[in-house]
């Protein structure tokens, strides 16, 4: 079952150069197939990471220890973070990139289709390593997704499995990014200058550069952890002359740009949806591009805001505080442009637009609490509290995930040829919005009241809001089961999608223009009609 050469005479159903069944997915070089696999893999990992979070919220439903031992709780929390960041959100956005970038720039496929296949198929082994680390001697790591030594250094074999998994995930991301950069820079249709590209392509081009810049830094950090554990070095071991604080610097030099690796493609999706449902071109296109690039550049000089509490010179604290606050400027430009796009537009509120608006309100909320935390003395009091948990879940869930849901509903007709059920989509949006805010808004109160994060038990005065937060989490999860059922039913028996599902509004996208494919993608130039 391979795609070897057959002459036309041999051609029958199973000899038309296309692999079928499992080999279609194993050997595929098609950007749409690979995009689908990334999306489904991300969904699977989101389910695993979601179950871990439900374990956490079940334990925190009331004070005392009921369900999880403290060690298991730590492992759940750690793997929830690692799996959601590296297994769910990042692969889902790469799935969007695979599906959309070639179509939006008029290329026939990604620049390196075989490397694209390999990028994807590196993910399952890494996921298996992480999942299997629960079942080895000593259990999964307990350090949190930040892998801080000395706690991480002391973990058992699971520590090495995690290091290997991070290496594989990083290699996959770097290969994916090289593919995206090369595709965008070399395979654009004639006439599509960089400043005419749809904004989703722009955000991914910039994200790919961020990934290429910082994934090797993370690889270096975990390699130093490995040699500290097994080869007698003391990079992060104070007893040997090293410094655990250095790990934090290296990790967050990766970690803060990583935040923007996750959120920039979300900005890109929202920048496609809002113009479509406002029936207007995006307001301030050029300023959107420059704002995205500014955010990316600034993201390299703010890492210290994650470590105000380690004891750094006042000059350092001031630098990282002001640099962090500076990011609010280009972010504000983007929010202004999204609102200006809607201004006097012919707005309609189909499901994708609801998600984009939910994103706008609640991501901005997460941005404001980020500004609060950027203030050094405030961060020093709130750093180890639930306020931080609330803050970054507003950016990661109400930010990244809301954009993902909006993008799924927006492009679902294009991906599947089927239309989803509009009422079900709207119900899913409101269900998720209520569940999300029920879960995470009270965590601001808990943090301000002094509840520490990363603990399986807490003092009695935190009981009520924790109970509400846990009920919200299970309600939120139930909404996602509803979402999966809805989309499955649409896929099986939905109405056929229209050619331009969004009534011409999506014609603002280049996807629909008959842009000729670039000649160097084909051995023989296809005839254009
Ligand atoms: Cu940061």
Q: Is 305 a catalytic residue?
A: yes
Q: Is 523 a catalytic residue?
A: no
CA of 322 to the centre of ligand 1 (A): 13
All structural domains of the chain: 29-511 (1.20.210.10)
Q: Is the pLDDT of residue 104 over 60?
A: yes
Q: Is 509 a catalytic residue?
A: no
Q: Is 426 a catalytic residue?
A: no
Closest alpha carbon to 525 in 76, 190, 135, 203: 190
- Is residue 240 reached through a cis peptide bond, with omega within 30 degrees of 0 on the bond before it? no
CA of 255 to the centre of ligand 1 (A): 7
DSSP string, 15-69: -SS---HHHHHHH---HHHHHHHHHHHHHHHHHHHHHHHHHHHHHTTSSS-SSS-
CA of 484 to the centre of ligand 1 (A): 32
- pTM of the predicted protein model: 0.91
State the pLDDT at residue 525.
Answer: 43
Q: Which of 228, 258, 350, 506 is catalytic?
A: 258
pLDDT band per the 50, 70, 90 thresholds, residue 23: confident
Q: Which of 31, 167, 229, 256 is catalytic?
A: 256
Q: Which of 59, 109, 350, 379 is catalytic?
A: 109
Contact at 8 Å (CB) between 356 and 273? yes
Sign of CA dihedral 43, 45, 46, 50: positive
Q: Which of 57, 80, 188, 391 is catalytic?
A: 80
Q: Which of 31, 188, 280, 306 is catalytic?
A: 306
Above pLDDT 70, what percent of the chain? 91
Contact at 8 Å (CB) between 312 and 380? no
Of residues 18 and 160, more confidently modeled:
160
Q: Which of 334, 383, 391, 393 is catalytic?
A: 334
Q: Is 391 a catalytic residue?
A: no
CA of 100 to the centre of ligand 1 (A): 28
CA of 518 to the centre of ligand 1 (A): 40
The residue behind tokens 């809607």 is 342
Q: Is 506 a catalytic residue?
A: no
Contact at 8 Å (CB) between 447 and 389? yes
Q: Where does residue 216 rank: exposed (0-12), middle (13-18), buried (19+ CB within 10 A)?
A: middle
Strand partners, 496: 418
Token reading at 133: 């680390």
pLDDT band per the 50, 70, 90 thresholds, residue 529: very low
Q: Is 496 helix (H, G, I), strand (E, B) or coil?
A: strand
Contact at 8 Å (CB) between 304 and 315? no
Q: Is 418 helix (H, G, I), strand (E, B) or coil?
A: strand
For residue range 396-439, list pLDDT tens digits in order: 999 999 999 999 999 998 888 889 999 999 999 999 999 999 99
Q: Is 256 a catalytic residue?
A: yes
Above pLDDT 90, what percent of the chain? 79
């Amino acid at each position: 079952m391979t795609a070897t050469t057959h002459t036309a005479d041999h051609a029958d159903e199973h000899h038309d150069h296309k692999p079928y069944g499992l080999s279609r997915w194993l050997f595929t070089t098609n950007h749409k197939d690979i995009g689908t696999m990334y999306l489904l893999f991300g969904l699977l990992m989101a389910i695993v990471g979601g179950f871990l979070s439900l374990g956490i919220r079940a334990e925190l439903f009331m004070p005392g220890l009921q369900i999880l031992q403290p060690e298991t709780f730590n492992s759940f929390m750690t793997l929830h973070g690692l799996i959601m960041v590296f297994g769910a959100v990042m692969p889902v956005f790469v799935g969007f990139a695979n599906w959309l970038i070639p179509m939006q720039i008029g290329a026939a496929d990604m620049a390196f289709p075989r490397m694209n296949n390999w990028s994807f198929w590196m993910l399952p082994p890494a996921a298996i390593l992480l999942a299997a680390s629960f079942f080895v001697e000593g259990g999964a790591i307990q350090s949190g997704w930040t892998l801080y030594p000395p706690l991480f250094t002391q973990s058992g074999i699971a520590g090495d499995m995690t290091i290997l998994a991070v290496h594989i995930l990083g290699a996959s991301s770097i290969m994916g990014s090289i593919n995206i950069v090369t595709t965008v820079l070399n395979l654009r249709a004639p006439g599509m200058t960089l400043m005419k590209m749809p904004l989703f392509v722009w955000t991914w081009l910039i994200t790919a550069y961020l990934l290429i810049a910082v994934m090797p830094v993370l690889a270096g950090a975990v390699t130093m952890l490995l040699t500290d554990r097994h080869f007698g070095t003391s990079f992060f071991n104070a007893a040997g002359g090293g410094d655990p604080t250095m790990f934090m610097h290296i990790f967050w030099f990766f970690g803060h740009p990583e935040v923007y690796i996750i959120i920039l493609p979300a900005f890109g999706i929202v920048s496609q949806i809002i113009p479509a449902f406002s029936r207007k071109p995006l307001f301030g296109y050029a300023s959107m591009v420059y704002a995205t690039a500014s955010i990316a550049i600034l993201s390299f000089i703010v890492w210290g805001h994650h470590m105000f509490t380690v004891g750094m010179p006042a000059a350092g604290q001031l630098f990282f505080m002001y640099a962090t606050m500076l990011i609010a400027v280009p972010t504000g430009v983007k929010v202004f442009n999204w609102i200006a796009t809607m201004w006097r537009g012919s707005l309609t509120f189909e499901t994708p637009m609801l998600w984009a608006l939910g994103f706008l309100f609640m991501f901005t909320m997460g941005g404001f609490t980020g500004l609060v935390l950027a203030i050094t003395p405030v961060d020093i009091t709130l750093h180890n509290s639930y306020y931080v948990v609330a803050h970054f879940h507003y950016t990661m869930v109400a930010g990244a995930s809301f954009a993902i849901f909006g993008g799924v509903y927006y492009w679902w007709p294009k991906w599947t040829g089927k239309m989803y059920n509009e009422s079900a989509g709207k119900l899913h949006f409101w269900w998720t919005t209520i569940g999300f805010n029920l879960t995470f808004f009270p965590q601001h109160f808990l943090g301000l009241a002094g509840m520490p994060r990363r603990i399986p038990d807490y003092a009695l005065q935190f009981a009520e809001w924790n109970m509400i937060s846990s009920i919200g989490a299970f309600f939120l999860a139930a909404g996602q089961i509803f979402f999966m059922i809805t989309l499955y039913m649409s896929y099986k028996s939905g109405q056929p999608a229209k050619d331009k599902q969004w009534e011409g509004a999506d014609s603002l996208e280049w996807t629909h223009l008959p842009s000729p494919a670039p000649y160097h993608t084909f051995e023989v130039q296809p005839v254009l009609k």
